[in-house]
Amino acid sequence: MRLRSIPVSRGFQVALLVAGVAIGATCSGTSGKSKAKQPKSSAAAACPDCSQKATGLTQPNQPPGFEFPAYQRIGVGQEIGFGLEVVDHEADVVKVELIGKPDSALFDPYTLTVIWKPTRKDIPAGHFSVRITEKQRASGETRIFVKDFSIEVTRNKQQLPTAQPLGPAVETLITIHDPNRLAQVNRDWPIDKLLEHGAKLYIAALPDKERDAAAKPDKKALYLSYLKTLADANDNPRVDPSAGEFDRYSFGNPRDWKIITLRPRLDKNWMELRIVYKAKAHEATYAMFKFRLVIANATKPGQREVNNKEFSRLTLEAFFSKNGTLDESLFRDKRAHAKRTALFMKSILEYKNDAYEWATATFLGIPSESRLGGGSIKTANGLYESGDGWAWNVAKLHIEGGVVTAYNSPIKGFATAVAPSADGKTWDMKCAPIFDPNSDDFNKLFEGLCRDSGHVDLPGSGNGYGDGERGGPIVSARKDAVNMFVNFKNEQSAEHLPARDPRRDLFEEKGMTCSQCHVRRFGVRDMRDKTAYDPSAGEPTNQNKSQATTYFVIVPTERWQPYAIDFQEKQECKFKVAIKRWTGIDTSLTCPLDVK
């Protein structure tokens, strides 16, 4: 692998050798009481992640969190890349600078990515220093923190860190992530081939006239159009195939993308298969393909039943014995598991049930997560000013000029309030009053964001990539980032439904925004708490439990994030319940929880 020439941050020569402490701090960590009214949920009082407006409480402003790189030692000539991962839970403005590094390391200040290939001169260690400048949103006051760390350099190549196995259920079924277990699917399905397959499924589902007019999918053109969605969402020409700055080394070859996780989501209301690719680039870039077994606009109960029964059946055939015992021999034999995983993936992607015209494999879209600069704010001169570099977008397919191509869809909205369902058996989403055109509290600035389903779209601007809170007419957003829609996330959407309200989990990915899900310090709901799913038990009085901060990526990479580990346990339980519900088979999966 080769190193690229990347501009170095202007603050690079400043030497502040203060290990993880604040300097020049002017804030006492307290602020005045909020004048906002109390929220509608009793869970709000126990929700430190919600804004003062949502909770009616004040909380000391916490320092930004910094995730130290997973690498402890590497060998001479061994190339690594990592991000400077910073999270501020109060959504303060945060500027991240690399102010000390080995001469052999390169740094991109826009994506906050370090690339390092140490030389013999770097023995015995490379030393790095990161300056974090926090400007508090509430007070405007500034604090500076410096984080120092070192990575040992040896003469010999070192084994790089990887997420450790969590047991047979996780490794062979829930989150398949071992490269050896994914070897066959990577040979079978390079990313451009899966794009082409998704496009064929998309065209096949079109009305006759549109289907007949559509050209045969071109996998090269599809791949390039997908890269353009990343370039648009991140304002980064290095991912734009039509730009002179296009990075062909990192993004030019679709075969350089690798499947890093296969996730059969039996825990969802509508079961689906998720296939996560990672780009070759050191700037972390993930593409998650989603497929299910019935057409995309399926809404009837019978369609959900077919989808979930058949998905459960295919899962049982692939990974369980006939009596419902998880085949743990696959945990020991990675090669056999790789073959079984490939057959399972094929059975989902090529599914067809002639008994129903709508029962066919369907491509849903590509939610994407990347540290390509989409969460960074630029100065007027185009230089990095603040932010963490991360952004989320959702690529879908459409026909343009008779050709199927990828584009960034407006992101379907999120929960802002709830009400008992019509039958009183569960909670349904509804638009909070400020977004609801039928409410006296409706704000016309948010016209069009409230959907009939109760979702509320993020308040974007311009072509959907801007932040409507920073000015301009508001439209449905096509991207999300931690430093975007701050008032929406921390105030408007939390006033009636705090961030830690366990009922948010009922709505799966629509319970909170992309960035809120990936940057969090709390887990999922207590499965034993009946109030979280049954209105007859009253409103929740407990919040989702606290846990260590999750930094951006939920799938396992060099390590497991705290939320991801907690999630695996809950998923095993939900898998067991779901399979029993849809097939009648009681599997050997463990589930000590009372799951609804």
At 593, the pLDDT band (50, 70, 90 cuts) reads low
Residues 505-524: pLDDT tens digits?
999 889 999 999 999 999 98
50-54, 128-132, 203-207, 251-255: range with lowest mean pLDDT: 50-54
Q: Do 141 and 72 fall into the same domain? A: yes
Can you spell out the DSSP letters for 226-246? HHHHHHHHHT-GGG-TTSTT-
Contact (Cβ atoms closer than 8 angstroms) between residue 291 and residue 363: yes
For residue 132, name the pLDDT band (cuts at 50, 70, 90).
very high
Q: What is the DSSP string of 536-595?
A: GG-S--SPPPEEEEEES--S-SSS--HHHHHHHHHHHHHHHHHHHHHH----S----S--
Asked whether the predicted pLDDT for residue 328 surpasses 50, the reply is: yes
Please tell me whether residues 278 and 257 are part of one structural domain.
Answer: yes
pLDDT band at residue 60 under the 50/70/90 scheme: confident
Say if residue 500's pLDDT is above 50: yes
Mean pLDDT of the chain: 89
Across-strand partners of 562? none
Whether 114 and 246 share a structural domain: no
Q: Which residues partner with 450 through β-bridges?
A: 456
**Residue 82's closest CA among 484, 292, 389?**
389
| CA–CA separation, 257 and 191 (whole Å) | 7
Quote the DSSP letter at residue 304. H
The reported pLDDT for the residue numbered 26 is 28
Short-list 525, 564, 547, CA closest to 65: 547
High-pLDDT (> 70) share of the chain, %: 89
- Whether the pLDDT of residue 9 is over 70: the answer is no
Could you tell me if 341 and 212 lie in one domain? yes
Of residues 394 and 34, more confidently modeled: 394
Band (594; pLDDT cuts 50, 70, 90):
low
Q: Which two tokens stand for residue 545?
A: 């439990």
* Distance of alpha carbon 399 from alpha carbon 395, whole angstroms: 13
Q: Report helix, strand or coil for 332.
A: helix
312: left (phi over 0), alpha (psi -120 to 50) or beta: alpha
In the prediction, which pLDDT does 321 show? 95
377, 408, 439 - which closes a domain: 408
Q: Is residue 231 in a domain?
A: yes
Q: Which residues contact 234 (CB under 8 A, 6 or more apart)?
A: 370, 372, 373, 374, 391
pLDDT at res. 55: 35
Kindly give the interhelix angle for 301-319 and 334-349, rounded to the nearest 10 degrees. 160
Residues 175 and 308 in one domain: yes
Choosing from 154, 177, 194, the residue where a domain stops is 154
For residue 2, tell me if it sits in a domain. Answer: no
| Any domain includes 14 | yes
The per-residue pLDDT for 42 is 35
Task: Give the model's pLDDT for residue 559.
Answer: 94
353 contacts: CB under 8 Å, gap ≥ 6: 293, 306, 310, 359, 360
- Whether 368 and 477 map to the same domain: the answer is no
User: Which residues, in sequence order, are CB contacts of 163 under 8 Å at separation 6+?
Assistant: 177, 556, 557, 558, 559, 560
Within a domain: 54: no
Quick one: pLDDT at residue 358? 93
Question: Using one digit for the tens of pLDDT, what is the confidence trace for 86-109?
Answer: 999 999 999 999 999 999 999 999
C-alpha dist (Å) from residue 275 to 42, 101, 137, 199, 544: 38, 36, 38, 16, 28
Does residue 460 lie within any of the structural domains? yes
Q: Does position 7 have pLDDT exceeding 80, yes or no?
A: no
How far is it, in rounded angstroms, from Cα 193 to Cα 147? 43
Q: Are residues 221 and 134 in the same domain?
A: no
Which H/E stretch holds residue 306? helix 301-319
At 276, the pLDDT band (50, 70, 90 cuts) reads very high
Distance CA 292, CA 201 (A): 11
Q: So what's the pLDDT on residue 476?
A: 97
* Mean pLDDT, rounded, for 375-382: 94
Q: Is residue 578 included in any domain, yes or no?
A: yes
Q: Which whole-number Å values give the CA distances from 167 to 185, 256, 330, 374, in the listed order? A: 21, 29, 11, 36
**Is residue 15 classed exposed, middle or buried when 0-12, 13-18 and 19+ CB atoms within 10 A define those classes?**
exposed
Which residue in this structure is represented by tokens 């704010």? 377
The enclosing domain of 70 has a CATH number of 2.60.40.10
Judge contact between 393 and 542, C-beta under 8 A: no
Q: What is the pLDDT of residue 579?
A: 97
27 pLDDT higher than 60 = no
- Identify whether residues 249 and 397 lie together within a single domain: yes
Q: How many CB atoms lie within 10 A of CB 20?
A: 14
**CA–CA separation, 419 vs 430, rounded Å?**
7
Question: pLDDT-based confidence at 58, cuts 50/70/90?
Answer: low
| pLDDT confidence bin for 16, thresholds 50/70/90 | very low
Same domain, 236 and 292: yes
| Same domain for 95 and 123 | yes
For the segment 142-189, what is each residue's pLDDT rounded down to a tens digit?
999 999 999 999 999 999 999 999 999 999 999 999 999 999 999 999
State yes or no: pLDDT of 462 exceeds 80: yes
**pLDDT per position as a tens digit, 390-442:** 999 999 999 999 999 999 999 999 999 999 999 999 999 999 999 999 999 99
pLDDT at 587 over 80: yes
Rounded Cα gap, residues 377 and 205, in angstroms: 40
Q: Which has the minimum average pLDDT: 164-178, 279-293, 335-349, 582-596?
A: 582-596
Reply yes or no on whether the pLDDT at 386 is more than 70. yes
- Structure token pair of residue 19: 């290990």
| Cα–Cα distance, 55 to 529 (Å, whole number) | 21
Residues 6+ apart with CB under 8 A from 183: 338
Average pLDDT on 525-552 reads 91
The whole-number pLDDT of residue 50 equals 40
Residues 240 and 291 in one domain: yes
Strands 80-83 and 85-87: unpaired
Q: What is the pLDDT of residues 334-345, one digit of tens each?
A: 999 999 999 999
Residues 499 and 538 in one domain: yes
DSSP code, position 160 = P
Range of the domain at 236: 168-385+393-408
**Residue at a domain's end among 154, 176, 195:** 154
**Whether residue 61 has pLDDT greater than 80:** yes
* Within-domain flag for 161: no
How many structural domains are present in the chain? Answer: 3
Distance linking the first and last C-alpha atoms of the chain? 49
Q: CA 85, CA 519: separation in Å to the nearest integer?
A: 11
Is the residue at 84 inside a domain? yes
Please write the tens of the pLDDT for every residue from 295-324: 987 777 799 999 999 999 999 999 999 999
